[in-house]
Structure 1
Amino acid sequence: MTIFSCIGILLLLTFVVVRFRSHLPWFRQKARSQDAGCNDLKPPPIKGRERYRVMMDVRRLDAQNWLSIDKNYMAEHQVRSQLLQQEKEKVLQCLPESYEACLEALEEVVEFLCQRFPDRFEHKKCGDESTVHNRMTGETFMFGGANNQVDPLEIAVRLTMEDLSILMKNADEEYYLAASASLFPVGWTVQERIGWTIGQLHNPVPLWHQQVATSVSKFLNRLTPSSSMERSNYFVEVKRPDEDLFETLYRPTTLLEDNPDPSPEDIVVRRERQTFCRLPRTGAIVFGVKTFLTTLDELPMQELRNLAKEIKSWPDYVGEYKGREVWGPKALEFCEKRSQEEAAKEGEKEKEREPEMMEV
């Protein structure tokens, strides 16, 4: 066999392996371990659309970062632990039929975290029973076998930064909220909405049923274990000046706190990275939500301009739904002020460059 034949066979085997891996379910494509974490995982950008439209705007899941660990992990973990201790019924609900799907979701969460962050999570298995140890918090959880005292979904969200929900089909072939650990909700609680269909969950959203309801149904039905997807969403909320992280993250009643004259530091852009993953064993869908908080004064200039553009594009009924009358004028005023400051800085730079150009 010539050297060229050997090279050809190696190239063919490489192609076959790559093709085979690309069709594996997302959670079987082994995550590349990293010690540095996901500090570079940025919040989804504000795009600055000039016309309001309800859109799915889904894209292929960044499987390497399905679950994330960033600099806010410990602070948010404390909030999650507090919520599960004090408000458990409001933030965690699992219908009986969802148990196997919740257990499968936990297994995939543990496998992913231990592969992606082996310095922070450790998994041991003995027969049907498993333990997972979180080196950052010192917590150890047991699951599988006869260990059913703690719901699997609760263990999962005690490990992750993401809220996790399980979507299953009912007798009418509609997806519904079969289980949910939504600790950082916006204007609702799991206790109120467990068992609701996707359509019922989105009833308050302007134009949702008219523009995307059918597309969402088709999207969920077509989702496979090897075609996981993600999308982005954002809200603008108003907090009180003395508010702590617990109160900012846990918003079960309203986006707008009693603050009629909010400063840029009190106006918060809450961005969500939403993920959709089909479980192969049970066929349920795991819906994940990672929350990012950015105050108005922390937004980069371009995103601030994009936000202003979108605020102006909203029809009145959309602006009312989003609370624009409370924070909108302040946000636009701040954007205009920042734009003027940026223009002034550019003007100063131009003046400084003028003598240099004359000398040349």
Structure 2
Amino acid sequence: MLEAGFLVLFIGALLLSHKQIKSVILPQNFISKPKNSLKTKENDESESISKPSPLMITPEEVANYDDRPWRPFRWPYHQTMSIFKLDINHWLDMDKYYQHYINEKKRIRMKYGKQNFDWLPEGYDACFELMETVTQHMLNRYPLLFTLLKDGKGKVVKNEVTNEILDMSLPLKQHPLIYVSKMAKEDFYVVLKNPKDGLHYLVAAAVPFPGGSFGIDSKIGKHLDIIHEDVPYYKEKLQKSMERWFNKMNVNEPVERASWYITWDSHLKVNNIYQIAKFKPNLKLEMESTDPKDFNVRVERQTLRRLPKSQAIIFTNHPVFYSIEEMKDEPMIPSILKKILYEGPQDILKYKNFEFIRDHLSDYLDKLIKRQYELAIINEETPLKTQPNYPFAHWVKTDFDQLKGWNNPSDSYSKQHMKTHGFNKEKLANNE
């Protein structure tokens, strides 16, 4: 589905929508902790986790906050890792869609269960450490949004945005990933290395927002190579580098990147572009009857980090929608989108279903390109290439104010425009 990148787990486990994947059994004696997993601050300072700076926003102010304005559009459009060092302040960002994402996580978990939330016993310690890490991160980063009510044998925390009390006292009443999903809007994957064969396996996942029609339950316990065997260019360009990357990754070296595709809806579990006829038999007619102005770019904001105790690799994914219309006056964006839709690598065009929508969007993009010429945003001498502020919008500085967070300053952007406005769960397809 989406663009292959530095974490092949996401590319296959998230992006392969309805393709069948071979079953793989975990090797015997699979254990959740490598021999060096007991590193602590006392014996290895480099393995301690960096703390974020406090962001003093109130629950009422959350509705005015945006994610950083991603524009991950490149030309030439090659399959590359395109990773950036992650500022820990932006590991779990807060934005105006937070309440909607939390509500949808609960709805999807209650309706679909193991299809989107699944785990192996071998991954429990890593999930528990993740829960502790997310809890402490939210308390440190958002002290006015998360209140510590009790700290002893496990924490009791109040989410001030949702007004939910999260009782994580021991023994836990729910799996650690459930508590994580009640605090953070991101999807989470937990990957562990098996010291017997030196390879990485998916041992737990809380993924309500994959964007495609597949189940996480069918991927738990699988080796990354098998999960990604149908991903374009995986064997040729990514397979060896992924294992090397995982093996060398240190605790305080988190990274981030962004992938993207185009759709005409803002659903989270299954986007229209990856729907199947069983659930939407009139999909082409629906697509062609949708005004191109209503098409969105779904940006998948992804992070990767290692936990110090379990040595688990934690991958997060968070979808953010931007309408093509709101980007119409950003230099070269319409031109790059048009170029990619028709001249990108063939395997990627098929993988993202660009061929399905491009003719419907072609005239609209041409009008936007013409508009940029008329407004002197670009001219005949402007080279068609990745823009200097990649992967962010042209008007922003990449050294975001860590204390004030991020508010979108674009004159053309309305704070009242919510992608979740008009969301009606009664109109969702049966697999959404």
Structure 2-normalised TM-score?
Answer: 0.68
Which secondary structure does the structure 1 equivalent of 2:49 belong to?
helix
| Residue 178 of structure 1 pairs with residue 203 of structure 2 | yes
Unaligned runs of 5+ in 1: 1-22, 240-244, 348-360
**Residue matched to 1:305:** 335
Matches within 5 A, 1:64-103: 64-103=89-128
For residue 48 of structure 1, the aligned residue among 74, 78, 90 is 74
Which residue is 1:255 aligned to? 274
Q: Judge conservation of contact 1:98–1:178 (CA < 8 Å) in 2.
A: yes
Q: Show the counterpart of 1:295.
A: 323
Query: 1: distance between equivalents of 2:66 and 2:237?
Result: 34
AA aligned to 1:250 is K
| Aligned partner of 1:342 among 360, 366, 372 | 372
The answer to whether the 8 A contact 2:273-2:353 is kept is no
Residue in structure 1 matched with residue 401 of structure 2 by the alignment: none
Look up the match of 2:383: none
Q: Quickly say closer, same or farther: Cα 1:295–1:25, change in 2 above 3 A.
A: farther
2:236 aligns to what?
210
> C-alpha deviations, 1:246-279, integer Å up to 9, x for none?
xx11118962561341422443211111111111
Q: Distance in 1 between matches of 2:221 and 2:132?
A: 23
1:270–1:294 Cα contact (<8 Å) kept: yes
Structure 1 residues 263 and 196: alpha-carbon distance in aligned structure 2, compared to 1, 3 A threshold: farther
After superposing the two structures, state which structure 1 stretch, 71-80 or 291-300, moved more: 291-300
Contact 1:234–1:271 (CA<8 Å) still a contact in 2? yes
Contact 1:26 1:228 in 2 (8 A): no
Counterpart of 2:351 in structure 1 is 321
Supply the distance in 1 between the matched residues of 2:101 and 2:361 (Cα, whole angstroms): 27
Whole-angstrom distance in 2 between the partners of 1:253 and 1:169: 35
String of CA shifts for 1:178-224, please: whole Å, max 9, x gaps: 00001101322212211122222222221111111111111111111
Q: 1:344 to 1:30 in 2, by over 3 A?
A: closer
Q: State how many pairs are aligned.
A: 316
CA RMSD in angstroms comes to 2.3
Is the aligned partner of 1:155 residue 2:152?
no
- Higher radius of gyration, 1 or 2: 1
- The residue identity in structure 2 corresponding to 1:340 is K
Structure 1 position 345, deviation (Å): 4.2
Relative distance call for 1:81 and 1:250 in structure 2 (3 A) is same
The TM-score normalised by the length of structure 1 is 0.81
- Matched residue type, 1:209: K
Distance 1:195 1:238, change over 3 A: farther
CA distance in 1, matches of 2:335, 2:352: 18
Task: Using the TM superposition, give the Cα deviation of residue 307 of structure 1 relative to its aligned residue in structure 2, in angstroms.
Answer: 1.7
- 1:135 CA displacement: 0.7
Runs of at least 4 residues of structure 1 off by over 4 A? 23-26
Residue 54 of structure 1 contacts residue 208 of structure 1 at CA under 8 Å; is this kept in 2?
no
State the 1:75 CA deviation: 1.7
Counterpart Cα distance in 2 of 1:192 and 1:252:
20
In structure 1, which of residues 117, 123, 130 is the aligned counterpart of residue 142 of structure 2?
117
Change (3 A) 1:156 1:225: same
Of structures 1 and 2, the one scoring higher in RCO (CA 8 A, sep 6+) is 2
- Judged with a 3 Å threshold, the aligned counterparts in structure 2 of structure 1 residues 94 and 144 are, in CA distance, closer, same or farther, namely farther
Which moved further from structure 2: 151-160 or 338-347? 338-347
Residue identity over aligned pairs, in percent, reads 24
Consecutive unaligned residues of structure 2, counting only runs of 5 or more, are 1-44, 378-432
Where does residue 350 of structure 1 map in the other structure?
none
Report the residue type matching 1:196 in the other structure: K
- The one-letter code of the counterpart of 1:157 is S
Q: Which residue of 1 aligns with 2:193?
A: 169
Q: 2 CA distance for matches of 1:277 and 1:107?
A: 15
Give the aligned residue type for 2:231: V
Structure 1: how far apart are the matches of 2:257 and 2:155?
32
Structure 1 residues 324 and 26: CA distance shift in structure 2, 3 A: farther
Letter in 1 for 2:368: R
Q: 1:270 aligns with which of 293, 298, 301?
A: 298
Cα 1:281–1:59 change in 2 (3 A) is same
Superposition deviation, residue 331 in structure 1: 2.6
- 1:76 is displaced (CA, Å) by 1.8
CA distance in 2 between counterparts of 1:263 and 1:326 reads 15
Report if the CA contact (8 A) 1:236-1:255 is conserved: no
8 Å contact kept, 2:128–2:176: yes
Structure 1 residues 308 and 335 mapped into 2: Cα distance closer, same or farther (>3 Å)? same
- Does residue 34 in structure 1 map to residue 53 in structure 2? no
